[in-house]
Amino acid sequence: MDDYESLLDRARSQVPEDAFKRSGERFKVPDIQLMVQGNRSFWQNFQEIISILNRPGKEVLKYVAGQLATAGNIEGSNAIFNGKFAPEQVHDVLNRYIDSYVICPVCTRPDTNMAKEGTAYYLVCQACGARTSVRPV
Ligand SMILES: [Zn+2]
């Protein structure tokens, strides 16, 4: 548990200062930088975005690849998907992930963690303390 906490602290310390301080504004992530090369799509700022979301890359990758109905993997700071995709497609899927797994449905702030208890997953809000049951990714 201590290790997990210190990992979280490290992840948080990489988040730009004002990322969570835009009160009244919908949580925004940077534009998706996606480059198609051959038959693959390279999401070039994947690492930057997951550190802002404060979520494990593997979990975000699994969700996005699943929604795009393709396979993906992480190489360096890129996420790479089989197939040709437009940045807008990835952006839409990422927004659905954020709505389901990052934004607190009670206070609509993004300062949340995921917690697992047995087989159940919860979104735990650091701002208002709400615990919301979510489906596993
Ligand atoms: Zn909340």
**pLDDT > 70? residue 12:** no
CA-only gyration radius of the chain, Å: 15
Annotated domain spans of the chain: 2-18+27-102, 104-137
pLDDT in tens, 41-87: 999 999 999 999 989 999 999 999 999 999 999 999 999 999 999 99
pTM equals: 0.78
Ligand 1 centroid vs 38 CA: distance in angstroms?
A: 43
Residue 10 pLDDT class (50, 70, 90 cuts): low
Ligand 1 centroid vs 28 CA: distance in angstroms?
A: 17
Ligand 1 centroid vs 123 CA: distance in angstroms?
A: 9
Ligand 1 centroid vs 34 CA: distance in angstroms?
A: 31
The larger pLDDT score, comparing residue 137 to residue 89, is at 89
6 φ, ψ (degrees, to nearest 5) = -70, -30
Do 36 and 60 form a contact (C-beta atoms < 8 A)? no
Residue 22 CB partners (closer than 8 Å, separation 6+)? 28
Ligand 1 centroid vs 83 CA: distance in angstroms?
A: 37
What is 2-18+27-102's CATH number, 3.30.30.170, 3.50.50.60, 3.40.50.2300, 3.40.50.720?
Answer: 3.30.30.170
Return the SS3 of 31. Answer: coil
Q: What is the model's pLDDT at position 88?
A: 96
Mean pLDDT of 16-37: 70
Ligand 1 centroid vs 115 CA: distance in angstroms?
A: 14
Q: What is the model's pLDDT at position 4?
A: 67
Ligand 1 centroid vs 119 CA: distance in angstroms?
A: 22
Signed CA dihedral, 42, 46, 48, 49: sign only: positive
Ligand 1 centroid vs 106 CA: distance in angstroms?
A: 5
Residue 29 pLDDT class (50, 70, 90 cuts): confident
Question: What does each C-alpha distance from 46 to 36, 40, 87, 94, 122 come to in angstroms?
Answer: 14, 15, 12, 11, 24
Residue 129 pLDDT class (50, 70, 90 cuts): very high
